[in-house]
Chain A
């Protein structure tokens, strides 16, 4: 047996399981030699994951504060005198971009992807650790560049997170001089960094799985992250091309997107370009982006539900097919974001149809979650509460998506608060609930200590109910006709005065819910020292990350030998088993003696 840990601190005895692991030709594991290479410029995926997670949460807090400021302006116009129209648009833009790209994408793929992929696959690390490290540092540079937008002359861009030209680069749009350039450069950096990380995630799933871990034995978390990464690798280039072309338009005077246009009475030096072309490129990235965030959430929720209901996931194969199917379909629905941009009605019909078709695999997943819960031994742990909260919220947000997917319904609702409510439910609140659930679930593995349950439950109920109090009334405001993106409403004939009262209510709730998140941050910090000792497998889960010899997992993850996988990831409550779960690397009662056999009727 080859000892691939090179005599590191964790090398120990040889094989103890029923089947030998193969370690032939494995890549050499990188070994840190100093504090700096261990904790700062680390190539260990677990450290990189934590770096990604902390950076994403830090920049996410900035976006949270921006949303507070926007809500203050909507409820109490003029109360905060420094918020003028320009600032309001800058806050909208930065809030949206940070939340979608720099928080959700980075946290799911860079954070959970890095932590869970090697551990759940029984690998020692990612396939290209150096590239992985670069990926984080480029991401950090992208975040810093984005933040630099607040300090450049003219401030960050206020073009809206979709950055539509021509207004994004015309004078009188806030941040036209520097902000938009900084934003585009930051996005390009993010994409370059993400591509480096994404290559790692994909190749590790393809090549790094341990013995016995076939594709169809992978936990659904890995399926979600894997499919989302493939999609991101194919979709982000669209944003990259769009950003390069817009930079050319802004800095070099080309007319890729810029039509002939008169600005403050003068003919701008542009002509002939197509703003719609940018919208196509943007949404070719933008719609898959929704699922780049949603698919890891789907995967993680499946694992949380199965573990905390002590029941195997219902319809595992269907769940895998649905993830892959949603991934493929999400590339042919992008133009449903452009119904009001002017479009051939035939195209509108096509994209409405594909949009509604994608509801089928999505609904299938929801049914399977519910059927997994049915007659399960449900433990209302904090991760489970968040998982259940996700299902409800995702259904709510998804149903309004069905409304908006239809051209005739979308056209009147498109520029109202209804859309804001819809996408905040489906891709704001729902994935964030999963992120919280996942952190409560895996924190014991990452730190060796449990998060405080009471604080966790307060956090859940405040966040969950609060999110509904914020976004349900917003649907109603949208139906009343309250437009989105307006700095202030003023007097209108069609919006009743009561809408203002509702806005005040929403704002106060938003302030409270935002403040509740500080409770969560406190819990994270406090439990690091004072949390209850977790042990190796506090949730009695089956997947490989809970079976590491040490908690938190040591460098190289697995001691002397990588685990061998004997079963799928969902053997909970197996009849006749001594415990109510069988870990994936457990040969099981009937197989311990006979060694490597595969039961009849496998394929």
Chain B
């Protein structure tokens, strides 16, 4: 990540430009079961980000060459809507979305009990409707809730969170300006119950101490988001719907 040290991202009172504390995440809302055509679905908003996930399956794995005899494969597509950013994005896959799709699939395959569904495929579609930094994490969280909504057994509810560094200070959950002008970004996918990590990316510059603090922030935020995820699923099913 390119660092632009001359852009001011912290206020004189030590708070961030949008008034958040260093270890404070943007407000998160989650709703499960929002897409009637899907087997499972969820919408996650985090700050101004809007991520929607749909799950289809398990179904027969096509094309055949992707089939695994001993487990299901998870086919993830992360896609940003053309109108999700300030300049229109040309529709279709690009290198960034391909990479995010791949590592997200691998993270989800680490928590879904894929051995239960040999030779099948679970399709996970992540659509970003509005982007303001941190969409892969919001997408990961949405995917986990959608998988749970689809009734697919998992070891844990994976949570996507990110911390980073601005003006040499570690902060939780970068917003757009912090992402553009900050010095590091550390998005992770956390299993809140086991304390394991299934998704990890990072770019920028972090010292070992800064990394540890960023991870500490991430684990704390993951626990908070996990509560919201569980609540969304409870709201979906406690009413006796579906």
Q: Do A and B bind each other?
A: no
Chain A contacts to B: CB under 8 angstroms: none
